[in-house]
Each structure stands twice: as C-alpha cells, then as structure tokens.
Amino acid sequence: MSRNTELQNTFTLPALALRGLVMFPGMLLQFDVGRKKSVEALESAMQSDQLIFLVAQKNLGDNDPDGSQIYKTGVVAKIRQIIRRSDEGIRLFAEGLYRAEVISVAKTEPYLLTELCRVETAPYRKTTRSEALIRYTQSLFEEYIQNYSHIPPDIVIGVIQKKDCGELADYIAANLSLDYTEKQKILEELNPVRRLQKLSMVLKKEIQILALEAKISQRAKEQIDENQKEYFLREQMRAISEELGENDSPQQDADDLKARIKKAKLPPLQEEKLLKECDRLMKMPEGSHEASVIESYIDTCLELPWNKSTKDRINLKRAKRILDRDHYGLTKVKERILEVLAVRKLSPDISGQIICLVGPPGVGKTSIAHSIAEALGRKYVRVSLGGVRDESDIVGHRRTYIGSMPGRIIAALKQAGTNNPLILLDEIDKMGSNFRGDPSSALLEVLDPDQNKSFYDHYIDMPFDLSNVMFLTTANDASEIPEPLYDRMDVITLGSYTHEEKYHIAAEHLIPKQLKKHGITPKMLKITPAAIHKLIDAYTREAGVRNLERQIAAICRKCAKVFVEDKNAKITVTPEKLRELLGPEKYKDETANKHDMVGLVNGLAWTSVGGMMLPIEVAVMDGTGKIELTGSLGDVMKESAKTAISCIRTRASALGISHDFYTKYDIHIHAPEGAVPKDGPSAGTAMATAITSALCNIPIRHDVAMTGEITLLGRVLPIGGLKEKSMAAYRNGIKTVIIPADNEPDLEEIDSVVKDHVHFEPVERIDQVLKIALTRVPTPMCSEKEAEPRTVPTVPKVPVQTPEHKPTEQSSVIPQ
C-alpha cells in the first residue's frame, strides 16, 4: 500500500502527549497520567473502543501542549488497564499497535482530538547486507549491555530472536534508556534498513559514552576509596590520641597547617615545599623534637608577607611638608630626597635605589628615614647593624642547628607585615667580621637589585622577592663601609648643624617635645632665646643636637621639682639662670680668651662624629736632636711629623733658623687629648707651622686654623672631610681657614653660614701658610756667623678641654 493511499484512510482518536517518553509498536508501557487534558483523553478513549494516540511532546517544560507542540508521528495504543490512585492520578498500562501520523488537530479542549492516518513500515528485500546489519546491531547490543547491566534477560533473548530489521530496531529502541529525541527519529523512519542503521549509530555513540562514564566512575571510585581509607585511618589515630589524652597530635597539626597553606595562596614553589613539610610532619611520632621544628618552620613561613603589599602614595608637596615639619634646615638633603621620590613617581617599577645617609650622630639620619616612609605611605622597620659580626644575623641559621631562626632581613619583613616596607639598615659602618663570617658580604645580595629578587634566607630555604623593598642605610663614617657595598648605594651626606640651625631646632622641636614629655606646659616654663643661644655655645659643642636635647631635658627635670612643690610656680629660664640649673659653663668663648701663642697651632680633624679642632703643641728644648711624638699618634701622623721637620730643615736659612738646630735641640710634638687615637696625613701643615713658630719664637695667630698634607719639598696636598672641618672651625670662632688649593672646588659644598663667617685661604706651598699663620714673617739668616744662640721659649699652659667635647676613647680622630 502506498503512503498516499494510506492517507485517505483517516480516523480520529483522542491524543495523549507523552513527556520524555516514546511509544513503539508492540511495546508494553506503564506510566502515570496526571494532567487534566490527558485524563480527559483517557476517559474519552475508555468510553469508545479503548484506543488512544500516544505521541511525544517536543518541549518537556510545556505543561499544556497544543497541536503544534507534539510530533507528527506517534503510535496508536490499546488501553489494557487503568488504575485510579488516591491522589487523583491515573496509572495507565497500554500496548502499542501501529504507527500513525497526525493529519490535523480537530480540537484542543477539553482534550486533544487528532485526525490520524495509519502508516505502515515499507517492505524490503532480505539480503546478505541486511542480515549483516542485523548481526552487527545485535553485537552492538551485547557490547552495550556489558557496560549497562540493568537489562532483563528476557529482553536479551528477544533481541536474539528478532530477524526483521524493522522489528529489531523497534524492539531495541523501546527497551533501551535513550534520549527521547533519538527514539523519535527512529520511530519516524519507515524504511526498516535505514531505521536499523540509525539505531546502530545511536548504539555506537552510547557505547562510547558509557565506556567513558565507566572509566570516570572507576577513577572516582578509586580516589574515593583512597580518601575514605585515609580518612578512616586518620579518624582511628585521632580516636586513639583522644583516648590517650594526646589531642594535639602531629597529624592533627599537619591537617591544620595544610588548611592554612592552601588558604594563604602562596606562590607555587613555596606552597609545594610547605605541603611536603606537612607530609613529613604527619609521619612524625608523637613527642618528636623534629615535629616541633617543622611546625615552627611552617608557622614562620606562613607569617611572611608573600602576597601582602601597600600602595605608594607619592605626593611631593605632602612629602616636603612632612620633611619640613620633622627637620629644620638640611635643605640640600631634603631636595635630594624629593628628587628620589619624584623619580619613583614617574617610574614606579624602578629598583636599585639604595640610599645611604652619611653624617655625624644626632643630625637626624634615622628620623629622616622615618619621614620618608611616612611620605611614601609604607611600613617602617629599623634594623640595627651595629656590632653585627656573624653573617647568620643577615641570612639566618640553617634549620639543622638548635635554636635556628631567620635573619634580620626576613624578621623585618615579618614585623612589617608587607613585602614592600621601608627598611632602615642603621649603622652599616659599624659591622665587623670574624671567624663566623663577614656580614657585609651577606648584605651584598640584599642590596643588589639584580640578586635580591630571589633572596635566600638559610632558615626559610626558599626564594623571597626583596625587589619591592626600599632600603635605606645610615653611617657615620663612609670610609668604614666596604667598597663593594658602598658601590651599590646612593650616598647622601648630612653635615653638622650651624648655630642658627641648632637654635631653631631647639626652639621649634626640642623644647616643645621635652615640655610635653615632662608634663610641663609652655605657660609654666619659658626658655628665652638668649638662654637657648647660651645653652648652645656654653653647654654643648657637637655636630648634632643630642647633647642639646639632654641639657633641655635636664632643665625640665630641675623645674619639674619646683612645680611639684609649688603648683602655681612659673619659671623663665634666662642666661643667668642656666648656671643655677646646669652648673658652670662647660665651654668658654674661644674668641674672647684665646691669645696668639708660640708653638700652638689650630689643626682641623675629621672624626666619625663630625669635624673638630685639633690643637698641636711643639716645644723646643736644649738637647741632642731627639724627636718626641706624643698624643696617641698613628703611624701616618708620625710620618707627617718627621716630614714636617725635614721640610723645615730644607728651608732653615730662609726662616732664620740655625742649620744645625736638629743637633742642638730636642723637639717634642704633642696632640692634646692624648687618650684619643689620632691618625692621618692632613696635620702636616699644622705641624710644620708649629715647629717653625717654636724654632723662630714667633706666635701663631689664634684665629687661624689649617689643614693639609705636606711634602718634603713644602708642597701642600689635598685632604678629605673639608665640610666637617670647616664646620668645626666655625663653631670654634675661627676667622681664617687655610686649605690646600686643590680643595678649592670643595668649597661649593660648604654651608653658606660658614662661608659668611669664615674666610678660606687656598695655598699651594708651606711658605704661603707661614706667611698667613705667623704674626710676623721670619727673618732670613744671612750667614752662620750672624746667627745668634737661640733661647728656648717657655710654652704657656694650654687650657684643657672638658671630657664632654672629646669623643670616646675607642673612636679615632682622623685628620685625613
């Protein structure tokens, strides 16, 4: 029968839309019916011939499908049984009879009534090809049921018995758990061979999916079994520990640490290493010393700021305001710091700017570092390197040692809590070295921008990136810094404070600070400007302001006692009252009391605490030509003294000195403050001048100071530390400073206040020095006969400076 002939035999039947189900001819299907339209269709079918059209709906989410929402092809089924349930639902048991196609939908209310025509399977000729297709499909079915074991045996037998392509395709499709869209495609195919081909393709695809699902399931099962086994064993160990009263077992600690490691989101290398340490910890027996070491190590590593950082807030106006608020003067230093911040503003990723602040104590190096950190908005940590002699203090101790700990750099990062703080390495020139190692060499890696990206601390034993850290260092003596370390730093020099700067610092910073510290209000205690000037001149003489602050604190303590006894008391500190509060003056006005003297010259020296005056005395006595050198002079300074004597001998006649004075007189050269070691070549001109003065009996001007190295031929060579030496001359009231001509370019670095009060005389030869320093020019000697016997002058007693003015016995005065 042709399809057109079939279409002429139409009939109407109530339709029941199936959701996710497809009915096949010869199939027995049992399902629940709950929708109102479906129940009405069943009622109508039961009242007639119990035939109903079962067809799948296209959209599973549609609760009320109309004619356009159902497929065209379905199955006419015979209702075998209806079971009504208490929840107003119906359980239907139906048997598929034959395929039918929807011609039209007669009505949609109260149920779907469809006009249908029966469609038959097209006949086909059985060939070897169709037989092979049947066998292939049956083999695929066998392979399918190997992966899907929920197939009843009678269905397997039914598949084996089917020898028709169409029936086999319908039977397998009806009894397999396939997608309803795939089943619908098989149902709509009327050619038996093509229908079986479509089924075989679907089976092949399902077999591949089932094989993959089985593989995934097996893998998941193995993993779950392993996890369950581990969990079970851990729970057993935990239960045993609880029974023994050992709740804090290494296994429990390891679990807690593992959770913390995963939560910290560390870099991959660090996370992997710490997880391995946790695995080691889990295997440790209870009470093991090694377990506590591992636990402490992991805790330390987790406390480091691997991923935590602060954002720079660079504002030059704000930075200038902070620097001016915290420090008076230091104009060039502030300008240099603002330049560094400006560069960092333009290039945030710049690295390698290691700033070294060099200057005497008390000039504000540490506080400047704190101000820079505040201006940048970074955390500030200070690391003191004074006295460090073990390189393990820098790079840490290995964990194999008892009591090992990280180095000071890692400890500073841990303290800061961020990976980009400002770390101040204080007193970098005070490090030493011994048999334990050289800490300055360990700092090379820290301060090298090409190496500190992967800094290895011996304790942490993992690379830590220090490239984001801003390092600042401080030093009193730049010459004490090892050359490789010095080469890595950008040096900013802080000079001594002038009298005017000290006055403003005291009035604007130190006095308010100490009043607040001692609980005194400005109304209770007032220090007059004249008293401040007197305090600076008569009670302190230093490069910085620390002693000045101590004296102000002493005044506050003295007055605090009065305020406790009399709450209404008010004190005004005047220059006259300073003697009552602080005792007699420690330093007298050098300009008022000093006189021109024979054999006494004002030398200038550089020390780690700033420049200072270095008086040199020469006494000439009858003797046999001995030379005495006293005052803790170093080898270089002793050589300078001998060179000065030889230089004078070469021009004895021109200076009016007997040519054989070195056989008739003993010469004693002494540098006061003999307990303080002194060394360096820059006192050569001063020694030559003092020797000439003593031999010629000509006084030396008291308002002249000098510095410079001398040669045998009388040349004056350049020296170092001119800025500090000139400041010392200014503090001591010196009017003229003699300097080597080659040091004339260094005058650009001298403070303007010093230039205004001190006159500098550049010289090239000793003859120029003598002409300026001596009160009169020596008279040349015409001949030996005209030379008169020389009387040895009496050297007046030199005022001894108080101990507060000299540095400690361990420091060295280096005239350079």
CA distance 100 to 119: 5
Closest residue by Cα to residue 395 from 464, 308, 471 = 464
DSSP 564-625: HH-TT--EEE-HHHHHHHH-S-SS--HHHH---BTTEEEEEEEETTEEEEEEEEEEEEESSS
Say which of 534, 678, 725, 726 is annotated catalytic. 725
CA distances from 337 to 263, 471, 509 (A): 40, 13, 21
**Can you read off the two tokens belonging to residue 352?**
């390698």
Helix, strand, coil fractions of the chain, as percent rounded to 5: 45, 20, 35
Task: Look at the alpha carbons of 226, 230, 233, 235 in this order and tell me if their dihedral is positive or negative.
Answer: negative
CA distance 463 to 452: 9
CB–CB of 513/555 below 8 Å? no
Length of the chain counted residue by residue: 816
CA distances from 352 to 485, 660, 731 (A): 13, 62, 38
How many helices (DSSP H) and strands (DSSP E) are in the chain? Answer: 29, 24
CB–CB of 594/576 below 8 Å? no
682 is catalytic: yes
**Can you read off the two tokens belonging to residue 722?**
């001119």
Q: What residues pair up with 700 in beta bridges, in sequence order?
A: 597, 774
Strands 610-622 and 455-456 come out as: unpaired
CA distances from 691 to 220, 449, 667, 774 (A): 99, 53, 8, 11
357 DSSP 8-state letter: E
How many other C-beta atoms can be found within 10 angstroms of the C-beta atom of residue 31? 16
CA distance 57 to 19: 6
Burial 482-491 (b: 16+ CB within 10 A, else e): beebbebbee
CA distance 545 to 551: 10
**Can you read off the two tokens belonging to residue 768?**
């120029």
Peptide bond into 522 cis (omega under 30): no
**Can you read off the two tokens belonging to residue 323?**
């620097």
205 is catalytic: no
CB–CB of 69/62 below 8 Å? yes
User: At 44, which helix (H) or strand (E)?
Assistant: helix 36-47
CB-hemisphere CA count at 13 Å for 39?
12
Say which of 682, 693, 723, 726 is annotated catalytic. 682
CA distance 335 to 323: 10
**Can you read off the two tokens belonging to residue 786?**
């005209």
CB–CB of 378/313 below 8 Å? no
φ, ψ of residue 717 in degrees (nearest 5): -100, 155
57 DSSP 8-state letter: B
Owner of token pair 């007059």 = 528
CB–CB of 457/404 below 8 Å? no
**Can you read off the two tokens belonging to residue 508?**
């604007």
How many other C-beta atoms can be found within 10 angstroms of the C-beta atom of residue 164? 16
Owner of token pair 């990206």 = 453
Q: What residues pair up with 39 in beta bridges, in sequence order?
A: none
CA distance 810 to 802: 17
**Can you read off the two tokens belonging to residue 297?**
């190590």
The catalytic site residues sit at: 682, 725
